[in-house]
Amino acid sequence: MNAIILSALLGVVMMFSGIITNNKSVLKYIAAVGLLLLIAANLLDTYALFKININTHGLLSFEKFGLYFNTLAFGATFIYVCLSGRDVEKAGINVAEYFALIFFVLCGVSILSGFNGLLMLFLGIEILSIPLYILTGADKRNLKSNEASLKYFLMGSFTTGIMLMGIALFYGATGSFALEAPPVIPTMGGINPSFLQVAGLLLLFVAMAFKVSAAPFHFWTPDVYDGAPSVFTSFMATVVKAAGFIAFIRLFQNQSIVLGPSWKIILSFVIIATLLIGNITAVFQQSVKRMLAYSSIAQAGFMLFALFAGNDLSREGIILYSVAYSLATIGIFAVLIKMSDYTFDGFNGLAKKQPVLAFTTTIFLLSLAGIPLTAGFFAKYYMLAAVIKEGGALWLVIIALFFAAVSVYYYFKVIQAMYFKEGEAETTEITGGFKAGLVLLAALVVLVGPWPSIILNWFYF
Amino acid sequence: MEQVLLLLILLPLIGALVTAFSGNYAKHVALFSSIVSLALTTAIVCNFIPDASTQFVVHYPWIGELGIDFHIGIDGISIITVILTNVLVPLIILAGYKHDYRSQNALFALILFMQSGLLVVFTALDAFLFYIGWEAALIPIYFICAVWGGKDRIKVNMKFFVYTIAGSLFMLLGIIYLYLQNPANNFDIQAFYNLNLDEAQQGWIFWAFFIAFAIKMPIFPFHTWQPDAYEQSPTATTMVLSGVMVKMGIFAVIKWLLPFFPAAADKYAQIIIILSVTGMLYASLIAIRQDDIKRLIAYSSIAHIGLMSATLFTNSRVGLEGVMIQMFNHGVNVIGLWIVADTIEQQLGTRKFSDLGGLAQKAPTLAIMLLVMAFANIALPLTNAFIGEFLMFNGLFSYNIWIAAIAGISIILAAVYTLNMVQKVFYGNTTAVTANATDISGNVKLALVVLVLVVIALGVYPQPMIDLTKDTVGATMAGK
C-alpha cells in the first residue's frame, strides 16, 4: 500500500514543483530522489517494517511477489531517469508534468502488482494507460507523435470497453469481482463454469493481450512505439510492459482452469502468432526503432510462456525476464535517443566514433538475443524450462527456439552496422556521465548473466 | 595442485584481458600467455594417470537453486582435445605474427578468450557449463570473422552464426529435458549417464543433441556454412575453426551423446553413417574441382571429418581409438596446410592454382613442408594420420564391408586432389605471380617445423597417444 499512496503523492509533488522552479535539471533530480524514496517505502512494506494498512475488503492483496516486482519496476525507472532524464527534458516543454505522469504510471504499476479483484485490475490498467496516452503525444508539434497518441487512445479506449464487458459478464456469472479459484463440484465432474464466465474471461484475455501487445492484438504497437518520443517509448516498452504481464499472470493464475483445455489451445495460438509476427516483421525493418518495436512484440511472445506454464519456475522466470529485458531495452533506447539517424545505416561506424556506446549496446543486444553469460539467457532459459517442466508442449518450445535463432539475425544486424560497416554515425552530444551510466548498466546485465540468483534470491529473504 | 585445471581455464582469460590493453605488444603478450598455458598443459599431461578415471576435478556450486555446478575434470578423452587446443593456439598466434592486423590487441584477446571457452567445453562435467562454454567459444569467432574477414564476411558470417546458434538451442532443449528427468535435479554428467531413458524418449533428444553437433562438425547436409566461412575468415580464425572448433562436435558426440543415448545411437547409426560417407565422397569430389587453396582444404576437411563421424557410430572400440588419435592429428595437419596457404596468399596475393606454379624453385623449404603436410593429409604410412585412418577403417570394416569400401574411395580421391594441388602450386613453370617469390623464414618456418616434427614423430611412434586414451575409450564402450 505504501507504494500506491506514495507514488500518487509524488506525482502531485512533481506537478507542483513545476510551479516552484523552472530549472529542468532540478526537476530531474527531484524525480530521482522521489524514486529512491519510493523504493525505500516499498522495501519497508516488503519487510513489514512500516506499512500503511487500509482495509480494501480483499480487493488488493500485497504478497512478496508483487511487492518485489514493485521494487524492480521502481529500480528500472530509476535507472531510466538517470540515463535518459536529460532527454525527458528535451521531449517537450512541460517537463514537470512528464515526470508527474511517470509517477502516476508507477501508481498503476503498484496496483496491478497487487490487485485481487477485477475492479482493481480495471483501475490499475486505466491509471497506467491514461498517462501513457499523454506521454505518447508529448511532442505536440510532431505529426507522428500526435497520430500515435490518437491511435493509442482510440484503440486503448476500445479495449477498455472490451475489458469492462468482460468484467460485467464475469460479475454476472459469479456475483463477485474476486478472483478466487472456482469451486470444484465433484458431482458435476470437476468445475462447471457458466457460459457467461467463460465469455467474460475470454474478453478479459483479449483486453490483456492488447495491453501486452500480443498478436493478433498488436497492431497499435509499431506505430505507437515509433511515433512516441523515443524516451517515452523506452519507458512503455519496459516497465509498463512488464507490469502488464504481471497483471496478466495474476488474473489468470486461478482462472485458467475455468477455460479448461481450450485455455492452452488459445494461448498457444496467441504465442505462435506473436512470435511469428514479431520476429519475422522485425527482420525486414529499416529503422532500429521500429525493429525494437517489433522485437518487443517478439519478446512478449516469450514472456507469454510464463502464462502458459503457470508454475513456480515461470513465476521466477517472469521476474527475471522482466528485469533482463527492461535493463537491456532501457540501455538500447538510451543510446538510440542520442542517434541522429534511427535507421540501421545511421549506426554505421559507431564503434569507431563512440566505442563505449557501441560496446555497451552490443552487450544489451546480446542480452536481448539471449546469448549465454548475459542476463537474457537465463530469462529465456527459465521460460523454456518452465514449459518443458509442465510437459505436453514441446513442439511449442521448438517453435520458440526457432524464432530465438531468427531474432539473433536482426539484433546482430545492429552490431554489424556498428562494427563492420564504414560510416559516420552521427550522435548528439554524449557526456561522460552518460557513458559511465551505460557501462554500469552493461555491467549489471553481465553480472546477472552468470548469477541470476542476484535477482531471484530476494524471493526467499 | 588440485586447482590446476581451474588455472588452466583462467589463464587464457587473464591473458585475454592483458592482451586487450597492451596495444602494440599484444601479440607478444598473447604468445606468452599461450605458451604458459602450453607449459601448464605439459605439466598436467605428465601427472595424468592414463586410466579410465576423471582427474584434476574442480567442483564448486554455482547456481544452487537450479543445480548448476562449476564442475570440471580431465579424462582420457578430453586430455587429447585439451592438448590439441593448447598446442595449436601458440602456433596459430605465431603464424599470425607477420600479419598486419588492425587493432591486433582485440584480435588476439578474442583468440585467447575463445581458447578459454574451448577448454571449458572439453573439461566440463556439468551439462550446463558445457553449454555455456559451447556458446562462449562461438561469440569470439563471430567477431573475429566479421571484423577481420574477407569481403563477403558479413553475409557468410551471419549464416554461420545463425546456423550454429540454432543448433545449440536444440542442444539446450535436450539438456533441459534431461535435467527434468534427472531425479537428483542437477546437470551432472554422471547423473545423465545413469538416466536409462527408454527408447522413445532417447529418440528425439538424440536428434536434438545430434543436430547441434552435426552442424559444428559439420556433417553433410549441415555443412553448407563451412567452405564459405573458412574462405572468408582471417586465417587465424580458419585455423581455430578447422583445427579445434570442429573437434568440439566429434568430442561432444563421444562424451555427451553416445553414452546418453546408446539405444538411439544404435538405432540411427546407419542413417548417420550413410550421411557421413555421402558427405565424404561429395566433399572429395568437389575438392577436386576447386581452384582455390583455401576452399580445397575446407572440402578436404569435410571429407576427413565425415570419416570420423561415420566411425563414431560403428560401435567399435578400435574405431573409436582411431577417432581419438585422428582428432589430434587432423588438427595438426590442417593447421599446417592453412599456414602454407596463408603464407602463399600473404606473399603472392592470390590463392588460385591457375595463377601459381613452380613455387618449389623459389621456395624449396616451403615446398618440403607442404609435401609432408600433403602426405599426412592423404594419410600415407609413417605420417601421423595413417594410424588413425587405419584404425578408423578397421572399425568401419567391422561394421559393414561395403560402406568401408565406398568410404575407401575417398582416400584415393584425397590423393588426387592433394597431389593435384601440390603439383599445380609448386611444380611446373613459374608464372608471372610466382617469379619473384621468396622462401619462408622466421616465425612461419618455426611453426611449420614444429608441426612437421609432430607429424613424423606421431607417425613413427603413436603409442603414447593411444595409451593416453585407450582405457577411457574402453570404459566408454563398456558403459554403452
Instruction: Quote the ipTM score.
Output: 0.77
Q: In chain A, what residues touch B165 (CB-CB under 8 Å)?
A: 404-405, 408
Average pLDDT over residues B116-144: 89
Report the residue from B139, B146, B158 with minimal CB separation from A409.
B158
SS3 content of chain A, % helix, strand, coil (to 5): 75, 0, 20
Q: Are A363 and A446 in contact (CB under 8 A)?
A: yes
Contact B165 A408 (CB under 8 A): yes
User: Is B269 a domain residue?
Assistant: no
CA-based nearest residue in chain A for residue B171: A401
The answer to whether residue B208 sits within a structural domain is: no
C-alpha cell at A191: 468445475
Burial A81-120 (b: 16+ CB within 10 A, else e): bbbbbbbbbebbeebbbbbbbbbbbbbbbbbbbbbbbbeb
| Mean predicted confidence (pLDDT) in B386-400 | 89
Question: Identity (one letter) of the amino acid at A330?
Answer: I
Q: Which of the four pLDDT bands, split at 50, 70 and 90, describes residue B53?
A: confident
Residue B480: pLDDT band with limits 50, 70, 90: low
**Tens of pLDDT, residues A155-206:** 999 999 999 999 999 998 888 888 877 766 666 656 677 888 889 999 999 9
Would you place residue A107 in the very low, low, confident or very high pLDDT band (cuts 50, 70, 90)?
very high
Maximum alpha-carbon separation in chain B: 70
Q: Look at residue A174 in the predicted model and tell me its pLDDT.
A: 85
Q: pLDDT class for A295, splitting at 50, 70, 90?
A: very high
Q: Under 8 Å CB-to-CB from A183, ≥6 apart: which residues?
A: A191
- Residue B66 pLDDT > 80, yes or no? no
Comparing alpha-carbon positions, the chain B residue that sits nearest to A399 is B170
Q: In the predicted model, what is the mean pLDDT of chain A?
A: 88
Question: What was the pLDDT predicted at A361?
Answer: 93
**Residue B43: inside a domain, yes or no?**
no
pLDDT value at A128 more than 90? yes
B136 touches chain A (CB under 8 A): yes
Report the pLDDT value the prediction gives residue A445, as an integer from 0 to 100.
92
| Burial of B14 (C-beta count, 10 Å sphere; 0-12/13-18/19+) | middle
How many structural domains does chain B have?
1
Interchain contact B101–A (C-beta under 8 A): no
With CB atoms and an 8 Å threshold, state whether B158 touches A412.
yes
Q: Which three cell numbers stand for residue B212?
A: 547441434
Q: How confident is the model at residue A457 (pLDDT cuts 50, 70, 90)?
A: confident
Per DSSP, the three-state class of B55 is: strand
pLDDT higher than threshold 80 for residue A212: yes
pLDDT band at residue A461 using 50, 70 and 90 as cut-offs: low
* A381–B161 C-beta distance less than 8 A: no
| B457 domain-assigned | yes
* Nearest residue of A to residue B160, measured between CA atoms: A409
State how far the Cα of B399 lies from the Cα of B308, in Å rounded to an integer: 14
pLDDT in the model for residue B238: 83
Tell whether A423 is within 8 A of chain B (Cβ).
no
CA B229 remoteness from chain centre: 15
Tell me what pLDDT residue A110 has. 93
Q: Residue B324: count other Cβ atoms within 10 Å of its Cβ.
A: 28
pLDDT at position B224 over 60:
yes
**Separation of alpha carbons A17 and A32, rounded Å:** 14
Question: Of the candidates B151, B111, B255, B44, which has an alpha carbon nearest to the alpha carbon of residue A421?
Answer: B151
Residues 380-399 of A with CB under 8 A from B: 381, 384-385, 388-389, 394, 397-398
The pLDDT value given to residue B5: 87
Lowest mean pLDDT among A221-230, A435-444, B170-179: B170-179
State residue A429's pLDDT score: 82
Residue among A389, A405, A416 minimizing CB distance to B180: A389
Instruction: Tell me if residue A287 falls in helix, strand or coil.
Output: strand
Q: Collect all residues with Cβ–Cβ distance below 8 Å to B453 and sequence separation of at least 6.
A: none
Name the 3-class secondary structure at B325: helix
Mutation target among B116, B176, B182 for the A interface, most CBs of A within 10 A: B176
pLDDT value at residue B177: 85
Backbone angles phi, psi at B69, to 5 degrees: -120, 155
Q: How far is A420 from chain B (nearest CA, A)?
A: 6
Which candidate from A366, A405, A451 shows the least CB-CB separation from B166? A405
Residues above pLDDT 90, as percent of chain B: 8
> Using the beta-carbon criterion (under 8 Å), do B146 and A420 form an inter-chain contact?
yes
Please determine, for residue A340, whether its predicted confidence score (pLDDT) is greater than 90: no
Q: Which of A373, A401, A420 sits opposite B136 (nearest CB)?
A: A373
Q: Is B158 on the interface with A (CB under 8 A)?
A: yes
Which of B17, B168, B169 best probes binding to A when mutated, by most A CB atoms within 10 angstroms?
Answer: B169
In chain A, what residues touch B63 (CB-CB under 8 Å)?
450-453
Distance CA(A16)–CA(A20), nearest Å, equals 7
B347 in a domain, yes or no? Answer: yes
Q: Is the pLDDT of residue B99 over 80?
A: no
Summary mean pLDDT of chain B: 85
Mutate to test the interface with B, among A412, A414, A447, A461 (most CBs of B within 10 A): A412
Number of residues in chain B: 480
Nearest residue in chain A measured CA to CA from B150: A420
Q: Which of residues 34-93 of B touch A (CB under 8 A)?
A: 62-65
Q: Give the mean model confidence (pLDDT) for residues B387-404.
A: 89
pLDDT digits (tens, 9 = 90+) for B298-319: 888 888 888 999 998 888 888 8
Name the range with the highest mean pLDDT among A326-330, A420-424, B67-71. A326-330
* Residue B112 lies inside a defined structural domain of this protein: no
How much is the pLDDT for A189? 59
- Report the pLDDT value the prediction gives residue A459, as an integer from 0 to 100: 64
Strand partners, B69: B61
Q: What is the separation of C-alpha A251 from the centre of its chain, rounded to a whole number of angstroms?
A: 16
Whether B225 shows a pLDDT value over 90: the answer reads: no
- Decide if pLDDT at B436 tops 90: no
Whether residue A106 is predicted with pLDDT greater than 90 in this model: the reply is: yes
Cis amide leading into B364 (omega within 30) = no
Mutation target among A345, A413, A416, A461 for the B interface, most CBs of B within 10 A:
A416
**The three grid cell numbers given for residue A3, joined into one nine-digit string:** 507504494
Q: Average pLDDT for residues B410-428, to the nearest whole number?
A: 87
Nearest chain B Cα distance for residue A226, angstroms: 27
pLDDT given at position A185: 65
Kindly determine whether residue A416 and residue B158, on different chains, have CB atoms separated by under 8 Å: yes
d(CA A392, CA B287): 46
Kindly state the percentage of chain A with pLDDT values over 70: 97
Chain B residues with CB-CB distance to A373 below 8 A = 132, 135-136
Q: Is residue B296 assigned to a domain?
A: yes
User: Chain A closest CA to B68's CA: distance in Å?
Assistant: 11
In the predicted structure, residue B97 carries a pLDDT above the cut 80: no
Q: Output the pLDDT for position A305.
A: 92
Domain that holds residue B434: 278-480
Cα-based distances in Å from A271 to A212, A396, A400, A425: 12, 9, 9, 36
**What is the identity of the amino acid at A367?**
S
The yes-or-no verdict on residue B257 having pLDDT over 80 is: yes
* Cβ <8 Å between A372 and B132: yes
> Is residue B101 included in any domain, yes or no?
no
Q: What's the rounded mean pLDDT across residues A136-155?
A: 90
8 Å CB contact of A401 and B170: yes
Q: Residue B169: its chain A contacts at CB < 8 A?
A: 401, 404-405
Please state which of the ranges A418-422, A431-435, B292-296, B433-437 shows the lowest mean pLDDT: B433-437
Instruction: Say yes or no for a CB contact (<8 Å) between A385 and B180.
Output: yes
Q: Is the pLDDT of residue A48 over 90?
A: no
- CB of A59 within 8 A of CB of A119? yes
User: In terms of Cα–Cα distance, which of B264, B257, B281 is closest to B77?
Assistant: B257
